[in-house]
Amino acid sequence: MLFMQYYLDCMSQASYLIADESTCQAVLVDPRRDIAEYLADADAHGLSIEGVINTHFHADFVAGHLEVAAATGAWIGYGQRAETEYPIRKLAHGDRISLGETTLEIMETPGHTPESISVLVYEHPGDTVPYGVLTGDALFIGDVGRPDLLASAGVTADELGRMLYDSVQHKLMGLPDAVRVFPAHGAGSACGKSLSTERQSTVGEQRRTNYACAPMDVEQFLTLVTGGQPAAPSYFAYDAALNRQARALLDHSSGPRALSAAEFTAARTSGALVVDARDPQEYAAGYVRGSLNIPADGRFAETAGTVIAPGRQLLVVAAPDRAADTVLRLARVGFDTVAGYLADPEASLADVADQLTQASRLTVPDLHTALQQPVPPLVLDVRNASERDTGAIADALHIPLAELPHRLDEIPTYRPVVVHCAGGYRSSVAASLLRAHGHPDVSDLIGGYNAWHTMLHPTKA
Confidence of residue 460 (pLDDT cuts 50, 70, 90): low
Question: Of the ranges 68-82, 239-253, 430-444, which one carries the lowest mean pLDDT score?
Answer: 239-253
Cα 169 from Cα 223, distance rounded (Å): 15
Q: Is residue 250 part of a domain?
A: no
3-state helix, strand, coil in the chain (%, to 5): 35, 20, 45
Cα 448 from Cα 459, distance rounded (Å): 17
The predicted-structure confidence for 25-72, as pLDDT tens digits, reads as follows 999 999 999 999 999 999 999 999 999 999 999 999 999 999 999 999
Cα 187 from Cα 210, distance rounded (Å): 14
10 Å CB burial of residue 288 (0-12, 13-18, 19+) is buried
Query: Cβ distance 243 to 58 under 8 Å?
Result: yes
For 325-349, b/e burial (b = at least 16 CB within 10 A) is bbbbbbbbbbbbebbbbbbebeebb
Query: Which of the 8 DSSP states describes residue 452?
Result: H
CA angle 444, 449, 455 (to 5 degrees): 110
Q: Is residue 442 part of a domain?
A: yes
The predicted-structure confidence for 228-279, as pLDDT tens digits, reads as follows 777 888 899 999 999 999 999 998 677 778 999 999 999 999 999 999 999 9
Confidence of residue 199 (pLDDT cuts 50, 70, 90): confident
Position 461 scores a pLDDT of 45
Residues 6+ apart with CB under 8 A from 366: none
Q: What is the mean pLDDT of residues 193-205?
A: 87
Q: What is the mean pLDDT of residues 103-129?
A: 97
Residues 349 and 410 both lie in one domain? no
Q: Does residue 194 have a pLDDT over 80?
A: no
Q: Answer with the one of 357, 380, 408 that is the final residue of a domain.
A: 357
Position 457 scores a pLDDT of 75
Q: Is residue 148 part of a domain?
A: yes
Q: Answer with the one of 357, 388, 405 that is the final residue of a domain.
A: 357
Transcribe 330-371 into DSSP letters: HHHTT---EEEEESSHHHHHHHTGGGEE--EEE-HHHHHHHT
Averaged confidence pLDDT in the chain? 93
Query: Cβ distance 164 to 224 under 8 Å?
Result: no
Q: How many domains does the chain have?
A: 3
Q: Is residue 251 part of a domain?
A: no
Catalytic residue among 10, 24, 191, 421: 421
Query: Cβ distance 123 to 179 under 8 Å?
Result: no
CB atoms within 10 A of CB 32: 23
Residues 93 and 238 both lie in one domain? yes
Residues 273 and 380 both lie in one domain? no
Position 45 scores a pLDDT of 98
Cα 298 from Cα 295, distance rounded (Å): 6
Task: Specify the 3-state DSSP secondary structure of 247.
Answer: coil
Residues 165 and 284 both lie in one domain? no
Q: Answer with the one of 339, 357, 375 that is the final residue of a domain.
A: 357
In terms of phi and psi (left: phi > 0; alpha: psi -120 to 50; beta: otherwise), the region of 412 is: beta
Which helix (H) or strand (E) covers residue 422, if one does? none
Query: Cβ distance 236 to 149 under 8 Å?
Result: yes
Position 75 scores a pLDDT of 98
The domain in which residue 267 lies consists of: 258-357
Query: Which of the 8 DSSP states describes residue 254?
Result: S
> pLDDT above 90 covers what percent of the chain?
83
CA 15 and chain centroid, separation: 14
Q: Is residue 253 part of a domain?
A: no
Position 152 scores a pLDDT of 56
Residues 233 and 376 both lie in one domain? no
Cα 300 from Cα 324, distance rounded (Å): 13
Cα 388 from Cα 308, distance rounded (Å): 25
Choose among 308, 288, 282: nearest CA to 361: 282
Cα 248 from Cα 67, distance rounded (Å): 9
Angle between helices 300-307 and 323-332 (to 10 degrees): 60
List residues bridging with 445 in a β-sheet: 362
Residues 213 and 324 both lie in one domain? no
Residues 290 and 174 both lie in one domain? no
Is 421 catalytic? The answer is yes
Residues 6+ apart with CB under 8 A from 303: 233, 294, 401, 425, 426, 429
List residues bridging with 4 in a β-sheet: 17
List residues bridging with 379 in a β-sheet: 418
Residues 92 and 187 both lie in one domain? yes
Task: Specify the 3-state DSSP secondary structure of 2.
Answer: strand
Position 459 scores a pLDDT of 56
The predicted-structure confidence for 316-337, as pLDDT tens digits, reads as follows 999 888 999 999 999 999 999 9
Query: Which of the 8 DSSP states describes residue 18?
Result: E
Position 313 scores a pLDDT of 95
Domain containing residue 273: CATH number? 3.40.250.10
Choose among 403, 408, 418, 396: nearest CA to 438: 408
Q: Is residue 418 part of a domain?
A: yes
Q: What is the mean pLDDT of residues 347-356?
A: 88
Position 149 scores a pLDDT of 76
Cα torsion for 282, 283, 286, 289, to the nearest 10°?
180
Give the count of alpha carbons within 13 A of 402, CB side only: 15
Choose among 211, 221, 226, 206: nearest CA to 149: 226
Residues 349 and 440 both lie in one domain? no
Residues 6+ apart with CB under 8 A from 262: none
Q: Is residue 247 part of a domain?
A: no
Residues 124 and 238 both lie in one domain? yes
Q: What is the pTM of this model?
A: 0.93
Residues 103 and 86 both lie in one domain? yes
Q: Is residue 7 part of a domain?
A: yes
Residues 327 and 373 both lie in one domain? no
